[in-house]
Amino acid sequence: MLVVGHSFGGNILAAGLKNDILQDLQGYNGGTPLAPPLGDMVVMLNPASEARNLIDIQKLVRQRRLKFPINQAPHWMALTSTDDWNAEEYCAKTSENKEGRSEKRLLPEECLEESEAKWDTATGNAFNYGQVLLNGNGSKEDYTALGHFLPTREYPYGTTHDLTAIEGAKFRTEYWNGIKADRSVCDTAQEWLPELRRALNNWDTFYASEPRPTKFARSASMETEYQLRAYLYRRSIKATYSARYNNEPYWNVRTLPNLITDHSGFMSYMLMCMLNQFVLDDPAGTYPVR
């Protein structure tokens, strides 16, 4: 059961499930995978929700020093299209930069601004201004949307992962593609998460360096068309701090605009495949008897 909320629907899920999650964490002592708060997975797409709705959860996990097992699957995932990316990396990819757009090579600082791939201005700007107008100055946790709250080493709360496409957007998800196998069927990607957690400190689903487990080498497998990193990129800075902690199931993911464009452009083949893989394919190996 996959539960998805977009924008204000994401806020309903984030705010509505928060107290249940905090209660579950108070009674959790590790050892076995923590059950999802609703269905098998809750997904929030560009949620218009205060960062505090996640940060309070992250703080409790750290206060109790909870350790989740290696086969703990994510069951709470926020996906937000953001602009705080390494622009050089994005603009160097010809398929994302040129597909359906000008062949002109953009400068790194121009790329995100000039291309058709837009970051989410609704939660990045409008949400911020609206919260300040409604609630006064408040604190950053209250007027920043949860997908735009960046962690620091001094304050390790907020976003946990980066998500981008490996080879452009591939196919758009359209109703008339439902009868075409290569545009509607997703590959199976089973039990890859524990292996990644064992192999790498700052792992991702597309290996750019050794060690490279044979099962998931890009040359030998087409199982993942997206790249999911458990560390954050920022402009001109390679790797920066992530709020990820001890295999916890709460993932706050920044997506490059080739996966989600602006506020509502999330209907892509690759993103829908990713969500199905997380729900149907048991990537953490939690249910091996299946």
Read off the pLDDT of residues 235-245 as tens digits, 9 standing for 90 and up.
555 556 788 88
Strand 161-165 versus strand 226-229 pairing type: antiparallel
Q: Would residue 162 count as lying in a domain?
A: yes
Which range of residues forms the domain containing residue 108?
2-280
Q: Would residue 239 count as lying in a domain?
A: yes
Q: Would residue 287 count as lying in a domain?
A: no
Q: Which positions ≥6 away from 155 have C-beta within 8 Å?
A: none
Neighbour count for residue 59 (Cβ, 10 Å): 14
Q: Would residue 80 count as lying in a domain?
A: yes
Neighbour count for residue 258 (Cβ, 10 Å): 27
Return d(Cα 272, Cα 165) in angstroms, integer. 12
The count of domains in the chain is 1
Q: Would residue 137 count as lying in a domain?
A: yes
Q: Burial letters for 109-135: b for 16+ Cβ neighbours within 10 Å, e otherwise? A: eebbeebebbbbebbbeebeeebeeee
Which of 47-51, 69-73, 185-189, 271-275 is the least confident region? 185-189
Q: Which pLDDT does position 111 carry in this prediction? A: 60
Q: Would residue 286 count as lying in a domain?
A: no
Rg of the chain over Cα atoms, rounded to whole angstroms, equals: 18
Q: Which pLDDT does position 263 carry in this prediction? A: 87
Q: Would residue 288 count as lying in a domain?
A: no
**Which residue from 252, 202, 268 is spatially nearest to 74, judged by alpha carbons?**
252
DSSP string, 51-80: THHHHHHHHHHHHTT----TTPPP-EEEEE
Q: Would residue 51 count as lying in a domain?
A: yes
pTM for this entry: 0.83
Q: Render pLDDT for 29-46 as a digit per residue (tens, 0 to 9).
A: 988 999 999 999 999 999
Return d(Cα 16, Cα 19) in angstroms, integer. 7
